[in-house]
Each structure stands twice: as structure tokens, then as C-alpha cells.
Amino acid sequence: MRDVTPAGGHVQRCLLTLLALGATCVPIATAQTAQDFSVRATATVPAGTTIARVALPAATIAALRTPDGGDLRVFNAAGQLLPYALINAATQPQTRPDTAGQRLLVLPIHSGSSDATATAGNAPTLRIIEGPQRRVIEYSAADAPGKAKAPPAAAEVRGWLFDTRSIDSELRAVELEATLPAATIVKVSLAASSDLKSWRNLASDVPVFEFPSADASAGAGPVNRRINLPAGTRLKDQYLRLTWSGAGAGALPVTALRAIGSGDVAPVPPVVLDLGPPASTSEDAAQWTLPSALRAQGLRLSTNATNALMPVRISTRARAGEPWRVVATSVVYRLAGADGVANVNPSQPLPYALEREVRVEAQPGYKLSGVPLILALEYPPLQALFVATGQGPFTVASGKAGLASAALPVATVMPGYKVADEFALSVLQAQPEPGSVAATGRPAGAGAPGGNAMTTDWLNRTTLLWGVLVLAVLVLGGLALSLLRSPAKR
């Protein structure tokens, strides 16, 4: 009878060795370090910073492998993985600045005519005075016969009129040019009219004032000459009336009114990745392979051909062999302008996500011959918001396939979050590491424009460790099989 106990012991020892090797290799293989990523950028965070806000470089965005960018990772100097959120800098609320507009001179509004009173002879008079708070009715009886008539008094100024008929733009406020009564709060009201009969109220009882400073060395005291207008106010072909109360005797000494409009705010520009000429081209179509899986928000097609125009159709697919899906049409042109500056087509928003491959083909009846195409993609200007745990410098890493999204909601990263709190943080810049990014700004090893940037994803520490583990399994499995087949010693 054969004794298989020694062989069984050898097999048991081999299996135990295999399990021990697997137990040690799996944690190593699944651990994430900054060196596992093809693109790394370093950010220096000021001491005492709790939550850092770092703008992602173009190379980092180019190496992202998921449509939402959740495969990004942030490490501290000790290699610890840090929690983070992604924000789009283009969504930051912008305050439009004031722009000084037209200066409007005053036109006095009198309460009545002294000349009319003088020519009325000895007849009784009735005068109605419209004020901001009340209506005053004055009645004077006829003078007695032979009584000497007093000289007429000067007409009282009851308000100021401004001609705003030529102002086309939207206004947000007006500012008074006036010598305000010292240490007095004057309440002013504004109304607009196109016919000087029907008035539309714009502002009521707005306080304007000028107080001296309690400390002469501190400069001027509190002052306000500004009257804010309702949003969307336009005064084209209208008049503006200013009335007041609390100014004491006499008219409010206003000399002019300055219209205040809203200035333009420059939008935050997108991150542009220039893919250059196509990887493959024919007389009918040109094809590119995108380096980033992040969803693009705009597409820029251009040509360097002079005085050229080409209608095109844009298609996409995930991989070779799949059918193309048309996502947009466009017209690429470069036309000579009268001033010598070329007129080129603008970038095109992308309502649909692009897959890994993009194809641009001439529309039926046309050929791309003589119209070389260049492609660039616009991506949202992403910023990483992370908890600055441990010591810096901090590393923002991308360019590793197969990772689950680790991006958290902003409210999770910032406890007690209120809307737009993240934009109150200072923006820090991350500098790409020279060893991880080629001089072109593309991930190292990504190849020429339009090349497949995924070719280097598998060549990293994690995959190599898994390869060693699989090789060890094969070797130990072969050893176990040979021991089972060998004759047992008697």
C-alpha cells in the first residue's frame, strides 16, 4: 500500500506558503501611493491651513480616467491619502463692479410761478403743492381795494428733474453731487416718468448724509450720497425726479447726478488641452484619441489653411470596432478680414459627453483635402478642496486606471458649510513634478498628440505586484502538482 502522507505534507506546506504570500502581497498590491500615478503635482500649503483649495494643472486634468474626475487622489508628505472634494471654479458667484456713467445736470422744479401771481392783479389765488409726504393747498383771498400789493416772492424749488432719455444701459444706482447739510440725515425719493404726468416710484426715503469725523486724523466721517435702484432699471426715454424731506429750509443743494451702471465680469476661462493634428486622417475624416476621460465642456476645431471653410460632422465612440455616434455638427473656417485679422470659428459647447475616440468628417459632398484640422478640448477649471492633514508638501495625483471615485461632497469636507464658502478660500497653485509630466504638458509616456494615453496605465507598481503574485501562484501550483505525481517513499 502506497504512503502518500509525505506528499500530502509537502502539498500542505506549499498551500500554506501560497496563502502567506497572498496575504502579504494583496495589501501591498491594493495600497495606493503617489508613485502609482502617472501624473503628480505638488502644492505647498501655508502653515496653519485647515482646508486647502488647489487649482488642478492642465496635465493633471489630462490624465483623469473618469468623467467626473473622482479618480484623483491627494497625499501628504507621509503618503497618507487625504479626503477631498472637487469644485468648478467657473461656478464661483461673481459681483459685477460699478461703472460710472453719464453726469446729469439738475433742472429745478418750482412750486409755482411768481409772474403768474403778479399778473393776476387783485384776484384770489389757489395753489396746490405736491410734496413727497403730503399735498399742500394754499388759498389767498383778494386784497382790499386800494391796498398796496407786496412784491412777489421768488418761486420755491420743490424738486430736481434729470433728463435720462439718452441713457441706454441698465442702471444699478445714482450718486448725488451735492453739498449736504452737515450732520443731517436727508431722506430722498426718486421717481421716473416718460410724460411728466404719471410717475413710477424707484426709491423712497433713502437716507443721504455727511457727518464730520470725530477724529480729524482718521479722515472723513460717515457719508452716503448713493441711491440704489431696483434690479433691471432702465431709464431710456424717461425723466427722473428727485424730491426730499428733512433738509431744513430751502432746496437741497444738488448740482448734478451721476448714473452708475454694472460692469462686465470676465468669466473664469476653461482649461484647454491642445490635441494638435489628428492621429489618423483621410480625405473624408480625421480621428483623435482623447487623453482624458473627464467630460469636456467645449470643442475647438481650427485650421491653418488661409481663406478656408468646411462643414463637418463630429462623432465619437468608446473603442475601436464600435459604431460611431454623431454628437454635433459645426463649420470650421478661417477667413481673411478687411483689417488683416483672420476671422475664425469660435469654440462649440458640447451638450453630449465625448467617448475615448473622436472622429471629424466632412459633410456629404465635401472633402477635407487642403483643410488640415487641429483639435483642442475645453475642460472645466477644476480645483481640489482637501483637508490639509499632516506635513506638506501635498501631492495631487492622477493617471491611474480602475479606481473608484473618492471625491466627497463639499459639505462633507467643510462641516457647517454654507453656500459658496469654498470660494472664500485662497487659491493655491500646484506645480507638476518634472519626472511625471513630459515637456508637452501631457502625461509622461502618453506619446504623441492623439496617442493612447492608457498604454501606461497598466505599467505601475500595483500591476507589477499582482504579476509577481500570479507568477508565484503558478510556480507553487506546479510544485504541488509535481509532488502529487511523484511516487511515495516506502
3-state secondary structure 338-349: CCCCCEECCCEE
Lookup: cell for 257 = 447726478
Give 4's contacts (C-beta < 8 A, 6+ positions apart).
488
First-to-final CA distance of the chain: 9
Q: Hey, is 407 helix, strand or coil? A: strand
Lookup: cell for 307 = 481663406
E strands within 116-183? Answer: 125-130, 135-140, 157-163, 171-178
141 vs 122: CA distance, rounded Å: 9
- Residue range 122-151, pLDDT digits in tens: 545 545 566 666 555 555 555 555 555 555
pTM of the model: 0.66
362 vs 331: CA distance, rounded Å: 10
Q: Is the dihedral of CA 76, 77, 78, 79 positive or negative?
A: positive
The predicted model gives 245-263 an average pLDDT of: 84
Lookup: cell for 230 = 431696483
- 145 prior amide bond cis, ω within 30: no
Number of Cβ atoms within 10 Å of the Cβ of 367: 12
| pLDDT of amino acid 246 | 74
Q: Is the dihedral of CA 12, 13, 19, 23 positive or negative?
A: positive
194 vs 196: CA distance, rounded Å: 6
241 vs 256: CA distance, rounded Å: 12
The predicted model gives 334-348 an average pLDDT of: 89
More confident residue, 463 or 288: 288
Q: Go through 470-489 and write b for each residue having 16 or more CB atoms within 10 A of its CB, e for each that does not.
A: eeeeeebeeebeebeeeeee
Q: Hey, is 73 helix, strand or coil? A: strand
330 vs 104: CA distance, rounded Å: 48
- Listed range (23-37, 43-57, 332-346) with the worst mean pLDDT: 23-37
Give 416's contacts (C-beta < 8 A, 6+ positions apart).
none
Amino acid (1-letter code) at residue 199: W
Amino acid (1-letter code) at residue 29: A
- Residues forming beta bridges with residue 296, ordered by sequence position: none
- Listed range (93-97, 227-231, 361-365, 399-403) with the worst mean pLDDT: 93-97
| pLDDT of amino acid 368 | 92
Quick one: pLDDT band at residue 351, thresholds 50, 70, 90? confident
165 vs 432: CA distance, rounded Å: 56
Spatial contact of 447 and 455, defined as CB atoms under 8 Å apart: yes
- Residues forming beta bridges with residue 376, ordered by sequence position: 274, 300
- Listed range (114-123, 281-290, 396-405) with the worst mean pLDDT: 114-123
Quick one: pLDDT band at residue 452, thresholds 50, 70, 90? very low
| pLDDT of amino acid 12 | 58
| Cα–Cα nearest to 344, from 317, 309, 369, 298 | 309
| Cα–Cα nearest to 369, from 286, 481, 478 | 286
Range among 9-13, 427-431, 439-443 with highest mean pLDDT value? 427-431
CA distances from 134 to 113, 131, 187, 190, 378 (A): 20, 5, 14, 16, 61
Q: Hey, is 381 helix, strand or coil? A: coil
468 vs 472: CA distance, rounded Å: 6
Spatial contact of 82 and 76, defined as CB atoms under 8 Å apart: yes
| pLDDT of amino acid 340 | 79
DSSP line for 19-59: HHHHHHHHHHHH---GGGSSEEEEE---TT-SEEEEEPPHH
| pLDDT of amino acid 144 | 56
72 vs 294: CA distance, rounded Å: 11
303 vs 370: CA distance, rounded Å: 10
Spatial contact of 253 and 179, defined as CB atoms under 8 Å apart: yes
461-485 helix and 5-30 helix, angle to the nearest 10 degrees: 170
